[in-house]
Chain A
Amino acid sequence: MVKHDIVIIGAGLAGLRAAFEGVTAGLNTAVVSKIHPLRSHSCAAQGGVNAAINPKDDWHHHAYDTVKGADFVGDQDSIDMMCAEAPQAVLDLDKMGCPFSRENDGTIAQRAFGGQNFPRTAYAADRTGHAMLHTLWEQAIKYGVHVYDEYFLMEITSDAGRATGAVVMDIRSGKLQHLQAKAVCVATGGYGRMFAANTNAMTNTGDGIAHAMRAGAPAADLEFVQFHPTGLLRSGILISEGVRGEGAYLIGADGQRFMQKYAPNKLELASRDVVSRSMVTEINNGNGQNGGVFLDVRHLGKALILERLPQIRQLAMDFEGVDPIDQPIPVRPTCHYTMGGIRTDKLGQSIALKGLFAAGEAACVSVHGANRLGANSLLETIVFGKITGKDMVDFVNNREGRDGVATDGSHAVAKVSARIAALKGRPREGGVRQNTIRDTLVNEMQENCSVFRDEARLNQAWAAIQTAKAGLAKLYVDDKSEAFNTDVITALELENLVLMAEGTVATAMERKESRGAHSRTDFPTRDDENWMTHITAGYDHASKGVVLGRDAVRTTGNPQYAPAERKY
């Protein structure tokens, strides 16, 4: 057993930002990551990070745009805090050495993003997440954060309502160990891999959220899944909203723009949920091609494309075989971001399990509510990485975490060890291949629980989840070895993903209205009277399934935040 003050699971932007707070406060801080920190999916974020830095801008406007974008089910105190802290959080990163793009006078350059009233998205060319991630990794090295590189989370341990640490597997050797901690933070990102078409990395399987649920910390907002309008048609690889920010058009198979029909003011830069629904409607009405429409940048000209969108051009050429200078890029709405996560208070601590914190996409603080604005996700990682990191430091130094909880993790390690042995021991005969379970699950989720939902489809998705759960009990692996057993890792990731899918379908069935990214064709309007609330999803060990609950939306009494119709 190893002891740390703070153990953070996940080494993307939120995890590394939280680690920065822990280590610079002098606490023994460790980060656990199943892949090298620089491989974290934060690196794929292209467009930028919102912050009212410009003196002509106002964070209150940013906050209003966010409340509205969230379709009024985001937590207003967290949103206010995020938008007010945003400029400093960006300047922190700049000071650490992040090479943000500049204006002529040296100020940080900003571009327009969807659903906002001001061009407030700071960026580093079209690799903002990559630049920020490398910068925070550099800081982790500078200050000596202990990184458990290529260690996989097996269980979050708890004792009498307190998180006590984590059981992790050293992937390289297959050995298990318990890391004891006074505070545990989950920063493992989202779980978008549950859909067949997604922009996510293959590692985005919701491990931290699933384990937090099992440890007694419920999730919330799982029904809200963001479909990004412009994933590449074949691979789902992301084409940034920044491209539309630079002036790109969406056109149908007929070669004409269509967004004027759906969002006459904001057009292509309406909120993501609005644009995605418009695209699917066009495709369903026969104005698509091979199940997609097109993103057109030809009119922006070669020079601009080469200067500001070089990576985008490369992605289109590598993965779609199209040079955007000459041809429109085939795109379709693609699962991009999961608004749901571990339900926390304003500062990032679980509402149910003391000492368990969450930050970034894995958390439901909830600053995105029913729909996240573009470039608010990078912002959430650096603001709440910082705030939650500071709160953990305070928890460890001044509150319940001070004395820690002496837990001998050997019992938990033994349990986990037995689980792995059982998995490896399952016979091929009569068993199910993990690929079979995964393929069926993601296709069913795509078909029945994506941009448009209704009761019949959701019932079908629910049946698919039950089939997947039955399949997991018979799943066998080919690789029985100890060292670098990725066959076992992917099987365990699939278990986590199935739980996240169960929570998503259950909450989507529960919410009988349409709000933000959750669009029920059988309940097409928003119902503020009954559904201005978060739906929570916990894990019930007896029934081995999710249990739903409610948690109130945190409001500030600001009259401007009163629900209004969302128009763009």
Chain B
Amino acid sequence: MTTSQVSPQTTTLRILRGTVTNGKLVQQTQDFTVPYDATTTVLGALEYVKGELDGSLTFRRSCRASICGSCAMVVNGRSRLACKTKITDLLGGNEGKNIASAEATVGDANVIEVGPQRNQPVLKDLVVDIAPFYQKVKDILPYVQEGPEQEEHVTKDSFSQVNMVSNCIMCGACYSDCTAMVENPSFIGPAALAKAYRFVSDPREGNKTERLKELSEKNGIWDCTRCGMCIDACPKGVAPMEAIVKLRSLAMEAGITNNDGARHAMVFKDDIATWGVLNEPFMLLKTKGILGSIAQIPNALNLAKVGKIPNPFPFDHKVDKLDEVKAIYAELKKNPLDVKTKAADSGPGAG
């Protein structure tokens, strides 16, 4: 792409607009031509449309400095802050789309597609109903509680874990891109869980174990699929999935293992350590028990129909270089994921 100084350059914003009439959402795209230069943001372009072309275009915005979290929306298939996303970073193949958008016109380099966040009901144009998102944050009881596990003394490093997640601005980008949410809308989601980790990791919090118990219940930490989308989506580097992984480690460490998620994690680990590969039928049996496994039979048959059922026989099921797999586990045992002191990112997929 050339960075020519010829002005004004223009591009097309293809905005997915929507109105709710009698409780029914009707959406359609509308194209607007907007001028831009090297510093124009998507928010700037939206403001241009609203100010000069069509005042009825509706979106939230406030600080324009990526700290208030108002303007998260889907831009070229990904959830982002409009105020932080520059037009020039989107054009001419400057960035790859990591999700195929249903509305996308693939290959049109001079069109930027803007739509409302996903996983939330649309109220109007780019505005979604944020109440369910915030209800889930409220559900984790988002405040430091007095209790038996409260530590009186705080040191310089006490908040290093807290700080890792307290960058969160509750913009909802992670929630919008969460794939587990698509399958289970009751999943409390990455932002609320990151917020929960903020309290579990705070030395002043008095009910850490109680919180971990609650979070290990249905729709909690074990419902995350660890796809990593929330890490990509977060405009503030919070890495919610990291926090979820740490919550899982802490929960298991605290002996909160009487749930499908923890059992699944333990069986998973045992399988890999023993065989080097997963043994799905046994895994299911050990995670869900006999009755639970029988209940999964329709699901398994559905998977079989589309060719996604793995080898059901627990034999001939070992990798060649099992010693290397065992070496990895030995290494992990020696250097476990640090969930207490350091805030250093442990990288996607850790744990």
Contacts and interface: CB of A to CB of B under 8 A. Distances in A.
Report whether chain A binds chain B.
yes
Given A319-B39, A435-B52, A477-B55, A106 B153 contact: yes
Interface string B153-168: 1111011001100110
A56 interface: no
Interface string B40-71: 00000000001110111011111111111110
Interface in B49-97: 50-52, 54-56, 58-70, 84
Given A36-B130, A172-B123, A484-B127, A201 B58 contact: no
Contacts, number: 134
Nearest to A138: B143
Given A172-B123, A477-B55, A318 B154 contact: no
Interface stretch (A94-102, A241-249, A273-281): A94-102
Interface in A446-504: 477-479, 481, 483-487
Interface string A120-153: 0000110100110010001101100000000000
A99 B63 contact: no
Nearest to A489: B58
Contacts of B54: 478
Interface stretch (A62-70, A231-239, A362-370): A231-239
A478 B56 contact: yes
Nearest to A478: B55
A44 B154 contact: no
Interface in B2-31: 19-20
Contacts of A201: 62-64, 68
B317 interface: no
A420 interface: no
B204 A97 contact: yes
A426 interface: no
Contacts of B52: 433, 435
A127 B166 CA distance: 9
A103 B159 CA distance: 12
A35 interface: yes
Contact of A103 (B61, B141, B156): B156
B144 interface: yes
Given A36-B130, A39-B62, A131 B123 contact: no
A99 B123 contact: no
A99 B84 CA distance: 26
A485 to B, nearest CB: 8
Nearest to B55: A478
A500 to B, nearest CB: 18
A162 B70 CA distance: 36
Contacts of A434: 51, 55
B166 A134 contact: yes
B342 interface: no
B142 interface: yes
Contact of B62 (A142, A202, A314): A202
B155 A43 contact: no
Contacts of B163: 99, 125
B73 to A, nearest CB: 14
A97 B205 CA distance: 9
Given A36-B130, A479-B58, A483-B123, 15 more contacts: A35-B70, A39-B68, A40-B68, A41-B62, A97-B143, A104-B156, A109-B156, A127-B167, A142-B141, A202-B63, A235-B39, A433-B51, A434-B51, A477-B55, A481-B56
- When A and B form their complex, which 4 residue pairs have the shortest distance between CB atoms, in order from nearest? A97-B144, A478-B55, A479-B56, A435-B51
Interface of A: 35-36, 38-41, 43-44, 96-97, 99, 101-106, 109, 124-125, 127, 130-131, 134, 138-139, 141-142, 172, 201-203, 234-235, 237-238, 311, 314-315, 318-319, 321, 433-435, 477-479, 481, 483-487
